[in-house]
Amino acid sequence: MNFKPTLRGALLAGVSIAVMAGPATAQDLVQGGNLRVGISQMAPSPDPVVTTFGVNWMTASVVCEALFGTDEAWTPQPVLADAFAYSEDGKTLTVTLREGLKFHSGAALTSADVVASLERFKESAGIGAAFKNAVVSIAAADDKTVVFELNNPSPILPGLLSGAQAVIMSAASLEGASPTEATKGLDCTGPYTLTSYQPDQGATLTRWADYQSRSEPSSAFSGAKHAYADVINLRLMPEASVRRDSLITGEIDIAMEMPSDFYDALQNDANTEAVVVPNNQSLAVVFNTKDGVAADVNLRRAIYYALEMDSVMLASVGNPEFYTLDPSWIPDPNSFWYTTAGVPEGFGTPNPDKVKEYLAASNYKGEPIRWLVASEQYQKHFLTAITASQQLEEYGINVEIVESPMANYIQARADAAQMDAFSSFLPTYVDPTSIAFLNPSYPGFWTDPEKMELMDKLATTIDPAERKALFEQVHTLAYDQFPWIKYGTEANMYGIRKGVGNPARVPSRGYDLYNVAPPAAN
């Protein structure tokens, strides 16, 4: 049995879309100039392995590369990998590295660096844990060949290895660093080198003259990386209004993470544009299915049918142009995994009869549902929770909103005895096996036997169509048991100066600043 053709077919299914989706104006753009980007927060270290806060991966996304990278259809494509193949039994994945690649330090990229990087990634939080569960060993067969021995035949490895945390750094730079202790710098292979990193001011990334780009058309984190800007300056500006004003005055070229309230200000200014990236992420509430009042499936069903999603999303986002009432867990319809399987008719519209029916079938006696929200996520967490609680109150379902700083929120939600529900969000994942909410030890603790069996099959089934069908069954099951409830999909907005070339307008492009050109260069 040879898995190679099927797997490649599955993984490269999005290539044709990606090729067509390459930047239409890329050929008109030229290299040169500085790209100045105002950002809202910075991690103490640029090392992406030590944290699962995605916003802290920006620097590494530009400076580093992984064996694989996702394209605009969220499909993993080879980046540092030249070729890959599965064994006959599907339990061994062999990856061959591209020839002639070097790290910023000048050292040649070898399979030893890949092994060192991925051994560290394997012990890290988040997707690293999924990777650890999938592999038995990682070995360097020769200088350019890495062999992964797997627990079971599994197609998910390229997806797991295309994340920002799975970047490859030189083995020498990893000395002294652990999965929780950051490296001193980033000795990677990407189109920019990290010239300076000051956690409370910003970072400077300088184009690396020796970068060897892939030749395929650019598509998100795969294909050619043009490195248009000579220098990329990331400037920390925690206040959103300051980022907006700096953009208007021309002190920066891109202002990340703009509240939708600033849309008019940016659109009305002759020199700026508000870029709205639709289908960015799902807003949701996750329930404690293990203990407490929300462990009652009929109560969760009653809550789902009591909610009017439009009001919840409007309260959070503030402008109907910036969200959609889409029930798919996968917010980006460009993803192969996008599905609405199992969604009851009339998503988002309350059904009082069903609420009464399920409340009657539940053991709920009016106890308060302890609903955790993080103060730092006021709009996404608090405003959605308060609106939902008002709607639930009409049916006698009582909510006690527990607002606390992020540090307390993360600690409290991990304790099944301390919470019944918490507000959260869900981006598009490369593979559904990586979805945090589906991890049985992730807060929420959804361990339904049917779901566990389906997830096991999903992790080991090779055929893409079969996998999609399995995922649709999980999706359907969740729309019956409601371990979490999605309200809708929100857009992301950021601002650019007029003349910024090839800005990202789809969520899959994330922080691909190497393919964005500064205004001066246009």
Pairwise CA distance, residues 348 & 134, whole Å: 37
In angstroms, what is the minimal distance from the CB of 67 to other proteins? Answer: 21
Q: List the one residue from 19, 85, 341, 414 that touches other proteins (CB under 8 A).
A: 414
Residue number, 298 or 404, with CB nearest to other proteins: 404
Pairwise CA distance, residues 285 & 370, whole Å: 12
Directed axis angle between helix 464-481 and helix 4-11, to 10°?
60
Pairwise CA distance, residues 344 & 355, whole Å: 14
Pairwise CA distance, residues 159 & 71, whole Å: 11
Residue number, 72 or 403, with CB nearest to other proteins: 403
Task: Build a one-symbol-per-residue string for 108-127: x at contacts with other proteins by CB under 8 A, - elsewhere.
Answer: -----------------xxx
Sign, CA torsion 33/36/37/43 = positive
Residues near 330 by beta carbon (within 8 Å), at least 6 away in sequence: 337, 338, 339, 428, 429, 432
237 part of the interface to other proteins, by CB under 8 A: yes
In angstroms, what is the minimal distance from the CB of 408 to other proteins? Answer: 4
34 part of the interface to other proteins, by CB under 8 A: no
Is residue 495 a contact partner of residue 266, using CB atoms and an 8 Å limit? yes
378 part of the interface to other proteins, by CB under 8 A: no
| Residues from 241 through 270 that contact other proteins (CB under 8 A) | 241-242, 245-246, 248-249, 251
**Both tokens of residue 208?**
């690396």
Residues near 378 by beta carbon (within 8 Å), at least 6 away in sequence: none
Residue number, 2 or 201, with CB nearest to other proteins: 201
Residue number, 350 or 444, with CB nearest to other proteins: 444
Residues near 411 by beta carbon (within 8 Å), at least 6 away in sequence: none
In angstroms, what is the minimal distance from the CB of 53 to other proteins? Answer: 4
In angstroms, what is the minimal distance from the CB of 11 to other proteins? Answer: 23
436 part of the interface to other proteins, by CB under 8 A: yes
406 part of the interface to other proteins, by CB under 8 A: yes
Q: List the one residue from 105, 196, 267, 411 that touches other proteins (CB under 8 A).
A: 411
424 part of the interface to other proteins, by CB under 8 A: yes
343 part of the interface to other proteins, by CB under 8 A: no
In angstroms, what is the minimal distance from the CB of 267 to other proteins? Answer: 17
- Residue 56 sits at the vertex; the CA angle it makes with 317 and 53, to the nearest 5 degrees, is 65
**Run of H or E residues at 154:** none
Please give the residue ranges that form the binding site for other proteins (CB under 8 A): 44-45, 50-53, 56, 125-127, 129, 180-182, 198-201, 235-239, 241-242, 245-246, 248-249, 251, 376, 404-408, 410-412, 414-415, 424, 436, 439, 441-443
